[in-house]
Amino acid sequence: MEARIDRVTLRERERERERERELEKEMQSLQEKASEWSGVDTGDAFAIDDDTNLFQKLGGLQTFINLSTNFYNRVYDDDEEWFRSIFDKSDKDKAIQNQYEFLVQRLGGPPLYSQRRGHPALIARHRPFHLTHKAAERWLHHMQQALDNTSHIDDDSKIMLINFFRHTAYFLLAGIEQKNQSLHPCKDAPGRHPCTNF
C-alpha cells in the first residue's frame, strides 16, 4: 500500500514539475514578445531589480504617491475620448492607490499592494480593459510626462522606470493576447508567481 502511495506521490510531483516547466516556457515567451514589441531588452526592463532600492533612493512613499497622482490626473484629463473611455469604470482615487502601492512594493518598499489586494496578477487585473498597442503608447506617454514632472526622480531612475513600464505594458498586451487564445499560464501556478514582472 505504501509503495502505491509513493508512486502516486511521485507521479503528482512529476506532473507539478512538468507544469512548472511549461509555465516557465510560456512566461519566457511572453517576456520575449514584450521585448520585441516594446523595444526594451529584458535586462534593461529589470534593471530596477539591481542592487539599488528605488523605493529608498527616490525618497519613499510620497514620491510614488506623487508620481501616481500626476500620472492619473493626466490619464483622466486626456484629450482623447477613446483613451479616457478605457478608464470609465475605474475610480481615480483607487487607481492612484493601486498603482503607488504596487510600485512601492515592486521597487523595494513594503508589500502594501499584496497586503490589501493579494497577488498583483497584472495580466488578470488588466484583462477587463480594452488594451491595444495604441493604448499602451498613450499610457506610456502619460507615464513619461508624469516621471518628468515628479520631483525626486533622477534621470537614471527615470530611464530604469520607463524601461520597466514600457516592457511591462507590452508584457500585459502579450499576456492578454495569449489569454484570449487560452488561459493565462500562471492562473494555477503553485507557490511563487512565475511572472518576473511581479
What is the CB neighbour count within 10 angstroms for residue 83? 16
Instruction: Give the end-to-end CA distance of the chain in Å, rounded to a whole number.
Output: 43
Weakest-pLDDT range from 95-109, 141-155, 181-195: 181-195
Share of the chain above pLDDT 90, in %: 62
Weakest-pLDDT range from 24-28, 104-108, 132-136, 187-191: 187-191
DSSP secondary structure of 160-198: HHHHHHHHHHHHHHHHHHHHHHS--TTTT--SS---TT-
**Looking at residues 97-105, what average pLDDT do you find?**
96
Cell 492612484, residue located: 96
In tens, the pLDDT along 104-113 reads 999 999 999 8
Closest CA to 37 of 128, 155, 133: 133
Looking at the predicted structure, is the pLDDT value of residue 193 above 50? no
